[in-house]
Copies of this chain bind each other. A is one copy, B any other.
Amino acid sequence: MKKMVYFFGGGKGEGHGRMKELLGGKGANLAEMTNISLPVPPGFTITTEVCDAYYKAGHKLPASLSEQIDKNLAKLEKAMSAKLGDNRNPLLVSVRSGAAVSMPGMMDTVLNLGLTDKSLVGLAKQTNERMAWDAYRRLINMFGNVVMGVDHEHFERAMTEVKKKARVKLDTDMTIAHLKELVKKYKAIYKKYTKEDFPQNPKLQLRKAVEAVFGSWNIPRAVKYRQINNITGLLGTAVNVQAMVFGNMGDTSGTGVCFTRNPSTGENVFYGEFLMNAQGEDVVAGIRTPLPIEQLNDYLPECYQQLLQIKDILEQHYKDVQDFEFTIQNGTLYMLQTRTGKRTGPAAVRIAVEMVKERLIDKKTALMRVESSALDQLLHPQFDPKAKKQVIATGLAASPGAAAGRIAFTAEDAERRSDIGDRVLLVRRETSPEDIGGMNVAAGILTSTGGMTSHAAVVARGMGTPCVAGCGTLDIDAQKKTLKVGGKTYTAKDWLSIDGSTGDVMAGQVPTVEPELSGYFNTLMKWADSVRKLKVRTNADTPEDAKVARGFGAQGIGLCRTEHMFFEGERIWAMREMILADDEKGRRQALRKLLPIQRRDFVGIFKAMEGLPVTIRLLDPPLHEFLPQNEKAQREMARRLKVPVKTIQTKVGQLHEMNPMLGHRGCRLAVTYPEIADMQVQAIIEAACAVKKKGMKVLPEIMIPLIGTVNELTFLKVRAQKVAAEVIAKKGVKLKYMIGTMIEIPRAALTANEIAAEAEFFSFGTNDLTQMTFGYSRDDVGTFVPHYIQKEILPRDPFQTLDQIGVGELVKLGLQRGREARPKLKVGICGEHGGDPDSVKFCHRIGMDYVSCSPYRVPIARLSAAQAVLEEKAR
């Protein structure tokens, strides 16, 4: 019989910290902490394999499980010298979920299990009567809600009634009599909705709770959480059954959550918070605002000193920041959980760099430790320090960054408005796991209760979303959709700005500026650069973008889209004139107006990228994109160009396409109207000559888009070379330039050997390549791709992360065939995937020369490229 249950206790765990797949993160670390002699209440873990079996059997637990549970329960009872639900010496247990990957608050927990009408008496004797009745009402509530599905609201209402009748405000103010009345009411509620009495058999309680935890693996909010966080491939959750300890036993009891370092800034200071006389859930749920951990020294100095020791032990043992929970029962400290601490991007960088300096880890580990996508948070704009700010409140700086948005009072509202393009700030008294969808789309999160480890704060940090938590002066009415503060009322129409690094809440939309990059960041990037082999370029269409990217370490431009240059200001009119022209002569006339403008653009870009290669893509979009589609704008165009509106409408009609994505664009335009490409090549080479004449180094690379057959490329290359040779001869400058192509059509990848014979470089345009390889129109996937991800037909959105087995196969094939024909072919990738960590790693593995991504993703690509090398070595 397979081992389904792993015991921990008495200084020894059957499992250990590396068994997360099987025992879940919580279970593995409870065993590990037990093994390194930290004070952990004993218990046992039911494996994730059992969860898998439970689903495979159609929601049925394996037959032999109860025998193994019984055996381990006996061991636990022996360790605790108590018996589950015993009348005199009752053992109470908690039953908690715990998957291999942390999903905070997503699945269900039952506390105080083992209490019955009879064992209550025993508990009362061991502890005190009030505590016992309080534990009992909590059990009935939790068990009723979590295991039996009775709405929590019913219990809440009963409590409110009792408190009202008793004229007390806080739960802690209720007397034993009140609690007894409450238990009675709770039992009645339980019976009303479940049609049965609250179970008085402790083993039945346990069995049902275990099933309920397994069942919670697939509740919608847990499924959604995994989806948002790309958590796939897990067997399920484990179940941890552990002896209860009580932080609510009185004034020498308490509970808290700590980080070994500050997870928001990364500073190496002990960080956490606690509540005296409370159960752990109270801290996490953010119902009472807890105290900073240093103050524990004032209440229970010995416990505080012990915690400081434990913190050091944990960091030395795990070599990483730990996020742990503790409970103090009558002056005795117990560790209930430890896990790797989630941290913000800036914190991750600082911690990694500082731990190297502390010789806790080496540089390679440091590079692997920072999730490259988290760098995003370091690079994005912050509020302009010089801007006028009207600070209306200040809360906890729970997740750094600057965010502004219109107020959304519910998660649903946030989702709905975000869908239609609204920028929203989610404003809640407190957040709960149900809010996960709204939190995901919000620009920032603001709460009025809860601390630094409340749900809102933890989740926001994980997402990299700015968050200000526990801002108590806010008076939020989600029903009426109003927020009152400082005598003013704000509604869903109003903008708020929050600074997650200071805790400031400001009225209106405060302007932002570029961030200053920390020394930690620069150190880490230097390490990354010394490891990586892939070059990182940027996609930039303007000198401004080019400069930003260069500041972030870009080693050239991988994609300069020229079409944007045709849209701006007055240029669009010359473009429209060209489109309306009947013949080549008319087109050339209009193009002559565009030539000096284009040349000026290129001069600016070449200067900004002095000494680095610049890949310029010739005109790509279909011509209809340059014409107005509605009648009013068409009339204006007619007036301006002095042509009948009918002419414009006819042209719009002629240019209309059923599937513009697969239509007359890219090099197809250049083949049918070569004069457009001629003008662009002339502008590029003239600009390059002008810049070179000023003594600057310039490396222009002309990229011809949408090549499907080598003949297109040959046709256009011959023309381009002719134009370039003429310009170079005329300017009398020695200039080297390259002509290459985008590989974005499946056929181009398949016939890459032919194409490479003509192309000096390839740049994989994986956006279009993904569209055509999947047969997905990016504009239209909204109707089915979300279904696909939900049904796990697609693991992820292939437009965000390169589909390595399909599209990637084509990329690999194209690269191999290209290099067969031209061994020194320069190969890169441009488009969204160039800044996606997994995709960058793929590009490294298949042997590309560079990736190109948007300026803000350049550091992400640099780090990912380094990680790719390290991962390869680790294999």
Contact = CB atoms under 8 A, between A and B. Distances in A.
Contacts of A805: 750-751, 754
Given A659-B780, A810-B746, A709 B775 contact: no
Interface in A779-799: 779-780, 783-784, 787-788, 791-794
Task: Count identical subunits in the complex.
Answer: 2
Contact of A659 (B664, B751, B777): B777
B777 A658 contact: yes
Contact of A777 (B657, B715, B754): B657
A776 interface: yes
A720 to B, nearest CB: 16
B747 A775 contact: yes
Interface stretch (A182-190, A319-327, A766-774, A845-853): A766-774
Nearest to A750: B809
Contacts of A709: 793-794, 806
A775 B787 CA distance: 26
Given A709-B806, A772-B772, A793-B711, A783 B664 contact: yes
Contacts of A810: 746, 750
A806 to B, nearest CB: 4
Nearest to A716: B793
Interface string A795-814: 00000000101110110000
A712 interface: yes
A73 interface: no
A672 interface: yes
A664 B780 contact: yes
Contacts of A788: 671, 712
A809 B659 contact: no
A783 B773 CA distance: 23
Interface in A656-688: 657-664, 668, 671-672
Interface string A697-716: 00000000010110110010
A745 interface: yes
Nearest to A710: B793
A788 B664 CA distance: 12
A750 B770 CA distance: 13
Contact of A772 (B664, B746, B751): B746
Contacts of A793: 671, 709, 711-712, 715
A657 B788 CA distance: 18
A780 B805 CA distance: 30
Contact of A658 (B708, B779, B787): B779
A806 B746 CA distance: 8
Contact of A711 (B657, B784, B794, B809): B794
Contact of A792 (B662, B711, B792): B711
Given A774-B708, A793-B715, A747 B807 contact: yes
Given A659-B662, A810-B750, A775 B772 contact: yes
A745 B768 contact: no
Interface centre among A672, A706, A780 (most CB of B within 10 A): A780
Contacts of A777: 657-663
A777 to B, nearest CB: 4
A751 B668 CA distance: 29
A643 B711 CA distance: 54
A221 to B, nearest CB: 22
Contacts of A658: 660-661, 777, 779-780
Contacts of A663: 777, 780, 783
Interface in A378-427: none
A236 to B, nearest CB: 20
A672 B809 contact: no
Nearest to A669: B784
Given A657-B779, A777-B657, A715 B751 contact: no
Nearest to A793: B711
B671 A784 contact: yes
Which of A775, A780, A805 has the most chain B CB within a 10 Å cutoff? A775
A715 B668 CA distance: 39
Contact of A745 (B774, B780, B803): B774
Interface string A830-870: 00000000000000000000000000000000000000000
Interface string A248-286: 000000000000000000000000000000000000000
A657 B780 contact: yes
A793 to B, nearest CB: 4
A771 B668 contact: no
Residue among A711, A751, A772 with most chain B CB within 10 A: A772
Given A709-B793, A772-B773, A774-B747, A672 B787 contact: yes
Nearest to A768: B775
Contacts of A660: 658-659, 777, 780
A51 to B, nearest CB: 22
B661 A662 contact: yes
A784 B709 CA distance: 14
A807 B747 CA distance: 7
A625 to B, nearest CB: 12
Contacts of A668: 783-784
Contacts of A806: 708-709, 746-747, 750-751
12 contacts: A657-B779, A658-B780, A659-B780, A660-B777, A661-B775, A661-B777, A662-B780, A668-B784, A706-B775, A745-B774, A747-B774, A750-B805
Interface of A: 657-664, 668, 671-672, 706, 708-709, 711-712, 715, 744-747, 750-751, 754, 768, 771-777, 779-780, 783-784, 787-788, 791-794, 803, 805-807, 809-810
Given A745-B775, A747-B774, 8 more contacts: A657-B777, A657-B779, A658-B660, A658-B777, A662-B776, A672-B787, A746-B773, A747-B807
Ranked 10 nearest A-B pairs via Cβ: A662-B777, A659-B777, A658-B779, A747-B806, A663-B780, A711-B793, A664-B783, A745-B775, A659-B659, A746-B746
